[in-house]
Chains A and B, each alone.
Chain A
Amino acid sequence: MAAGLHISISAETLLTIGGISITNSMLTSLIVSGLIIAFALMVNLKLKDTSNPRGLQNFAEWIIESLHNLVHGVTGDLKKTRLFLPFVGTFLIWILLNNWLGLLPGVGTIGLQEEVESTEIEEHASSLVTQTYAVTEPVEIDATTHTEVELVDTNEEVTIEEAHQEPAAESEYKEESAHGEAKTKFVPFLRPGTADLNTTLALAIVSVFMTQVFGVQALGLSYFKKYINFSNPIMTFVGFLEIISEFAKIISFAFRLFGNIFAGEVLLVVISALLPIIAPMPFYGLEIFVGFIQALVFAMLSLVFFNMATQSHEQH
């Protein structure tokens, strides 16, 4: 194992281009996007208007028909179905592939040992201690006097390391030499896109933004009556609550997906560290299921919000 037990709540920067950090989750998302676009392109090139589709076209038609039926089951209106399908379908497929890509061998385990600043070590060590492990005694961190040595020592009291008999911090930070030498940090090349809060926030923003777009498209400016309504004090208050609920939607969307996928990643890493041979297998099965369910939940909730936005207040 290149890096042993590697757990990081935020995505790691692989490189910086023009002041913009390219993280491993961005790379994974780009790979997923590329795969989806490549698939779409291949299907498009092989597409024939036939009554007996075969191979790739048959597979693509099966996916799109299933998604179409799923969306149509909620909207009950062909026009709305055609309007929502690209977003709902892409949400489902994009999130699903991102979730499942994290389960592939090599994702999160193949990477680089990067030299890190001591302040970074301090931050990371603190996050490790506070977020992941149950430490029985306070960990002393002093970056100037080689913190990782302290971490290795203190981690003898970390329960997870007792079982694995390998210091946790050692996997993250290694002491290259005895004192005052370069320190390294493991940076995996790939990390599931949905295990990064920035990605899930982006998806949530797209979903909520498109809800407003579809609402205005269907109802015109009267859609905003939902938020701004001074007809009576109750409606004014309800409008205010509706505005808050839109922001709450973003937060709930983002944290639900991120929390589930990141928790799954952590679970797999921990189980693999404790019992590496057969024990992770059922958890992999569970994560495949969770990955699908979370993608479906995100897509279905978006679909329901899209549909609700296109209905007038009286229809509610």
Chain B
Amino acid sequence: MDIQLTQILFQIINFSVVVGAVSFLLYKPVLKIFDERSKRIAEGERAAVKAQKAYSEIEKRQKIVESELKKERNKVIKDAQTEAGERRDTIISDAKAQAKVEIAELKTQWENEKAMLFKKAEKDMAESILSISEKVIGDALDKKAASQLIDSELKKIIKAL
């Protein structure tokens, strides 16, 4: 176990060189990178906090806007419903009125047509009765007797109807 000063000095110098070299080449640059990265992370965190704040404000604002929109929507729906109800009533009443008019017109038309048909039927019937009577009786009736006969027969037919 020989302790030699030269060897000790050599190892001290050797180790010191390693410390110096590693400190210069490795520790300092890597620690610098760590610092810059930490700075970036801190900045990122600050920005994130800021963004979070802005986001929560936007969220708050969004909620307000949403509630306003909801109110407005409800109002619009209500108005629309009211208006639609009014319109519906108007349309129904108009339609009813128009229907009444049309029904009345149709009734009148019906009555006219009915009267016309009756008249025509009356005429046709009279003629046919007349011809039948002529054939049955064999004599020609005068106009007055013929019309009395027609009337009595028509009354019978109408009653039957």
- Hey, which bits of chain A sit against chain B, CB under 8 A? 9-11, 20-21, 23, 26, 29-30, 33, 36-37, 39-41, 43-44, 47, 49, 51, 60-61, 64-65, 68, 82, 85-87, 89-90, 93-94, 193, 196-199, 201-203, 205-206
If the complex has contacts A47-B33, A60-B30, A206-B16, are A86 and B11 also in contact, measured as CB distance less than 8 A?
Answer: no
Inter-chain contact A29/B11, CB cutoff 8 Å: yes
CB-contacts of B1-27 with A (<8 A): 1-4, 6-12, 14-19, 21-23, 25-27
- Chain B, residue nearest A47 (CB): B29
CB-defined contacts of B12 to chain A, threshold 8 Å: 202, 205-206
What chain B residues lie within 8 Å of A197 (beta carbons)?
Answer: 1, 3
User: B43 on the interface (CB 8 Å rule)?
Assistant: no
Interfacial chain B residues near A40, Cβ < 8 Å: 21-22, 25-26
Out of B6, B7, B29, name the residue touching A44 (CB < 8 Å). B29
CA A46 to CA B3, docked complex, whole Å: 41
| B145 at interface by CB-CB < 8 Å | no
B23 engages A193 (CB within 8 Å): no
Contact B18 A206 (CB under 8 A): no
17 residue pairs bridging A and B, Cβ less than 8 Å apart: A11-B7, A21-B6, A26-B10, A29-B11, A33-B15, A37-B21, A40-B25, A44-B26, A47-B30, A61-B34, A86-B23, A199-B11, A201-B11, A202-B8, A202-B9, A203-B15, A205-B12
Least CB distance, A256 to chain B, in whole angstroms: 15
B interface residue numbers (CB < 8 A to A):
1-4, 6-12, 14-19, 21-23, 25-27, 29-31, 33-34, 36-37, 40
Minimal Cβ-Cβ distance residue in A for B30? A64
The answer to whether A43 and B31 touch across the interface, beta carbons within 8 angstroms, is no
Contacts of B21 in A (CB 8 A): 36-37, 40
Task: State whether B27 touches A89 (Cβ < 8 A).
Answer: yes
Is there contact, CB below 8 Å, between B11 and A202?
Answer: yes
Grouping DSSP codes into helix (H, G, I), strand (E, B) and loop, the A interface class, with mixed when no group exceeds half, is helix
Question: Quick check: B37 and A21 within 8 Å, CB to CB?
Answer: no
Cα distance, A205 to B21, chains bound together (Å): 20
Cβ contacts under 8 Å, B23 to chain A: 86, 90
List the A side residues contacting B17 at CB < 8 Å. 33, 37
A19 nearest CB neighbor, chain B only: B6
State the 5 A-B residue pairs at the shortest beta-carbon distance, nearest first.
Answer: A202-B11, A198-B7, A40-B25, A86-B23, A40-B26
Q: Once the chains bind, are A87 and B19 in contact (CB under 8 Å)? A: yes
Judge whether B14 and A33 touch: CB under 8 Å. yes
A20 touches B3 (CB 8 A): no
Task: Assess whether A37 is in contact with B27, with CB atoms less than 8 Å apart.
Answer: no
Residue of B nearest to A131 (CB): B1
Q: Which of A10, A68, A90 contacts B15 (CB 8 A)?
A: A90
A30–B10 Cα distance when bound, in Å, is: 10
Contact B2 A51 (CB under 8 A): no
Interface contacts beyond A44-B25, A90-B22, A198-B3: sample of 9 additional A-B pairs, CB < 8 Å, sorted by A = A49-B33, A60-B26, A61-B30, A61-B33, A61-B34, A197-B3, A198-B11, A202-B7, A206-B15
